[in-house]
Amino acid sequence: MNIESLSQQLTETFGSKLIANTIAYGEVTIEVAPSDLLSVCQTLRDTDLLRFEQLIDVCGVDYSAYGNSEWATDESSSTGFSRGVEPAAGARLKFGDETDFLHTDGKRFASVYHLMSISNNHRLRVRVYCEDNTMPVVPSVIDIWPTANWFEREAFDLYGIIYDGHPDLRRILTDYGFVGHPFRKDFPLVGHVEMIYDEEQKRVVYQPVSIEPRVLVPRVIRDDGHFGEAGDDADVPESTDA
């Protein structure tokens, strides 16, 4: 089954449950509502024509700054590194700062599932947007694919997406006392808190981060004649090879 046939089969199987069904970069992506996620995933796994037995990954996505060109480097070879030189705001926030750049007029968070059918040799991407930007919640698929356990914990840790029904939803990459979710677009690059050893209390304590945010713009020195003028090669000594 090619990707066009797979896309058509998905449309025939799910009908109005599909909010979107697109083909891009050689893969099919479907979008479903949170309320339909579990039934759609169950069908994706159990239907013979689909048979997506394997969950490869679960990824969180924060679309709040989607389309922001702050980190664009398409012209880096001629104009230097533009990343963060003129910040939109988020990367330079400090502890307690408010964010006013978020595009919260739409749905901010999404959970994306990458599936593979070993039986039918095809792949699929399933995306579901969280209904609430303040408290992003989607159902856990752990009962359908047990491998979702750590994947969902990772998305919870890094993006703050809550997977309803997960039996052990807790942080997996950051420390127990970590504040915030570091992959959110409004999370400052320097973090919210830092750890120091307090001599009086004789223990490690947390305090608001004291590091001043800064941007390092690398200086690129080229020796390939890119910026040389005509005739510059006249000063280059000739080879002494026989």
Q: Give SS3 for 197.
A: strand
User: What confidence category does residue 187 fall into, taking pLDDT thresholds of 50, 70 and 90?
Assistant: confident
Tell me how far apart the alpha carbons of residues 155 and 58 are, in angstroms, rounded to a whole number: 7
Antiparallel, parallel or unpaired: β 27-31 and 122-129: parallel
Residues 6+ apart with CB under 8 A from 123: 27, 28, 56, 114, 115, 116, 117
Question: Average pLDDT of the chain?
Answer: 81
Using CB atoms within 10 A of its CB, is residue 16 exposed (0-12), middle (13-18) or buried (19+)? exposed
Q: Give the pLDDT confidence of 55-71 residue by residue, as tens digits.
A: 999 999 999 877 665 55
* The CATH number of domain 3-64+102-189, selected from 3.30.460.80, 3.90.180.10, 3.40.50.720, 2.40.30.10: 3.30.460.80
Q: Is the pTM of this model over 0.85?
A: no
Percentage, residues of the chain above pLDDT 90: 55
- Give the pLDDT of residue 80: 47
Domain ranges of the chain: 3-64+102-189
65-74, 149-158, 211-220 — which one is most confidently predicted on average?
149-158
- Give the pLDDT of residue 140: 98
User: What confidence category does residue 221 fall into, taking pLDDT thresholds of 50, 70 and 90?
Assistant: low
- Give the pLDDT of residue 209: 79
